[in-house]
């Protein structure tokens, strides 16, 4: 966040005294080492695009991890993504897109010197960020409640009572899935069309027992010395479940109400990827909100004019990048097929 502010900073505060008096008719926003506002604006833009390139590569690492985990174990992603709520994900996409639009409009307004409109649009953009983070917080709290967490903290026992409809949160979340799934029966009809469809269907009764297995074996594990610090995920598994694992993606049963199907191993990978990607993205949203808040203050103060709007433009670029990353995160995490 501070880096971001600084990336915008250099071209923004112009009239900082350097101890040297250049008093030859400079624009008040022109720094002493630039020859013209155009040069300064271009330099700021170039710097911002370079900064955005670093952000792309920062997230690139996470996309790489995603690709490798998904390539190696698609069944984990097929299974686990069902715990994400597509409706909330889609709403968040819309929120970010709209806030991106208000930001773009704010840039246009500031370019035209419409100060009040700029301030209003910046405020709206900020609210978009707030909305996004609130929805994200709701989603996160459901995940925490249901033990749908990363690595060692993944706890299937918290969400695999019966059919995973424990607690009001879980019910609300899965109901939305259910609705989506019912709306498109073709989806599941062909999903299991591969050769492994049969085992998936036939193991359906076992699936309900196997999801209880970690739960029941989890309790003795607490007394067992050697498994004492193993997370429930790695507690001994029922044979039926071990046998299921090689069945691959199609071994996942997604039909009807029992949308969770048998649980593959290492489901925590998905939530690790989910939380790192959305978490880092969320931090960027917060950073972007800080930048927009700062722009709002400056806009209200009247710092911007038709020939000096660079900070709004650069802040906008950053905000759009945050939107851009979400455009990819949404289908990759929520819309796995």
From 97, 137, 175, 179, residue interacting with other proteins (rule: CB under 8 A):
97
From 82, 86, 118, 210, residue interacting with other proteins (rule: CB under 8 A):
86
Q: Is 144 in the site for other proteins (CB under 8 A)?
A: no
Q: Is 294 in the site for other proteins (CB under 8 A)?
A: no
Smaller CB separation from other proteins, 256 or 331: 331
Q: Is 71 in the site for other proteins (CB under 8 A)?
A: yes
Q: Is 306 in the site for other proteins (CB under 8 A)?
A: yes
Q: Other CB atoms closer than 10 Å to residue 46's CB: what's the count? A: 10
Smaller CB separation from other proteins, 280 or 286: 280
Q: Other CB atoms closer than 10 Å to residue 3's CB: what's the count? A: 11
Class of residue 302 by CB neighbours under 10 A (exposed 0-12, middle 13-18, buried 19+):
exposed
Interaction residues for other proteins, span 179-238 (CB under 8 A): 180, 183-184, 186-187, 189-191, 231, 233-234, 236-237
Q: Please enumerate, as own/partner, the contacts of 50-58 that have beta carbons within 8 Å and a separation of 24 or more.
A: 51/3, 51/4, 51/7, 51/318, 52/317, 52/318, 52/321, 55/284, 55/321, 55/325, 56/321, 58/280
Instruction: Report in angstroms how near the CB of residue 122 gets to other proteins at its nearest.
Output: 15
Is the Cβ–Cβ distance between 113 and 323 less than 8 Å?
A: no
Residue with tokens 């299937």: 156
Smaller CB separation from other proteins, 132 or 275: 275
Smaller CB separation from other proteins, 23 or 71: 71
Interaction residues for other proteins, span 253-282 (CB under 8 A): 264-266, 268-269, 272, 275-276, 280
CA–CA gap between residue 35 and residue 172 (Å, rounded): 60
Smaller CB separation from other proteins, 153 or 161: 153
CA–CA gap between residue 71 and residue 67 (Å, rounded): 6
From 79, 105, 140, 270, residue interacting with other proteins (rule: CB under 8 A):
105
Q: Is 131 in the site for other proteins (CB under 8 A)?
A: no
Instruction: Report in angstroms how near the CB of residue 330 gets to other proteins at its nearest.
Output: 8
Q: Is 112 in the site for other proteins (CB under 8 A)?
A: yes
CA–CA gap between residue 219 and residue 130 (Å, rounded): 41
| CA-wise closest residue to 235 among 253, 210, 258 | 210
Smaller CB separation from other proteins, 172 or 227: 227
Smaller CB separation from other proteins, 164 or 249: 249
Q: Tell me 305's DSSP state.
A: B
Element (H, E) at 6: helix 2-8
From 55, 206, 215, 238, residue interacting with other proteins (rule: CB under 8 A):
55
Q: What are the distances in angstroms from CA 96 to CA 100, 131, 142?
A: 6, 9, 21
Q: Is 1 in the site for other proteins (CB under 8 A)?
A: no
Q: Residue 72 — φ and ψ, nearest 5°? A: -80, -35
Q: Is 32 in the site for other proteins (CB under 8 A)?
A: yes
Smaller CB separation from other proteins, 107 or 207: 107
Smaller CB separation from other proteins, 69 or 293: 69
From 87-95, 122-130, 158-166, 205-213, give the range in contact with other proteins by CB under 8 A: 87-95
Up-side HSE of residue 106: CA atoms within 13 Å toward CB?
Answer: 32
Instruction: Report in angstroms how near the CB of residue 220 gets to other proteins at its nearest.
Output: 16
């Amino acid at each position: 966040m501070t880096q971001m502010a600084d990336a915008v900073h250099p071209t923004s505060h112009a009239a900082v005294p350097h101890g040297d008096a250049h008093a030859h008719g400079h624009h008040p926003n022109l720094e002493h080492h630039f020859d013209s506002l155009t040069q300064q604006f271009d330099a700021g833009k170039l710097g911002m695009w370079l900064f955005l390139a670093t952000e792309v590569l920062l997230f690139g690492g996470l996309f790489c991890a995603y690709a490798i985990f998904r390539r190696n174990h698609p069944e984990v992603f097929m299974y686990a993504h069902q715990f994400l709520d597509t409706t909330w994900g889609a709403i968040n996409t819309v929120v970010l897109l709209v806030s991106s639009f208000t930001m773009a409009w704010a840039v246009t307004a500031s370019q035209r010197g419409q100060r009040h409109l700029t301030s209003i649009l910046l405020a709206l953009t900020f609210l978009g960020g707030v909305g996004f983070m609130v929805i994200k917080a709701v989603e996160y709290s459901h995940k925490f409640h249901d033990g749908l967490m990363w690595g060692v903290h993944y706890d299937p026992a918290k969400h695999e009572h019966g059919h995973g409809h424990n607690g009001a949160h879980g019910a609300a979340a899965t109901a939305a899935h259910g609705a989506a799934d019912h709306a498109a029966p073709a989806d599941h009809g062909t999903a299991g069309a591969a050769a492994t469809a049969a085992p998936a269907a036939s193991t359906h009764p076992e699936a309900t027992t196997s999801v209880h297995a970690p739960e029941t074996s989890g309790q003795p594990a607490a007394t067992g010395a050697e498994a004492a610090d193993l997370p429930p995920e790695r507690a001994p598994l029922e044979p039926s479940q071990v046998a299921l694992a090689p069945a691959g993606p199609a071994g996942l049963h997604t039909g009807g109400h029992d949308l969770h199907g048998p649980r593959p191993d290492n489901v925590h990978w998905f939530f690790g990827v989910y939380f790192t990607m959305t978490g880092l993205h969320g931090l960027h949203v917060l950073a972007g909100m800080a930048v927009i808040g700062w722009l709002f203050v400056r806009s209200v103060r009247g710092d911007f004019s038709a020939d000096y709007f660079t900070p709004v433009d650069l802040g906008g670029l950053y905000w759009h990048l945050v939107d851009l990353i979400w455009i990819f995160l949404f289908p990759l995490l929520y819309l796995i097929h």
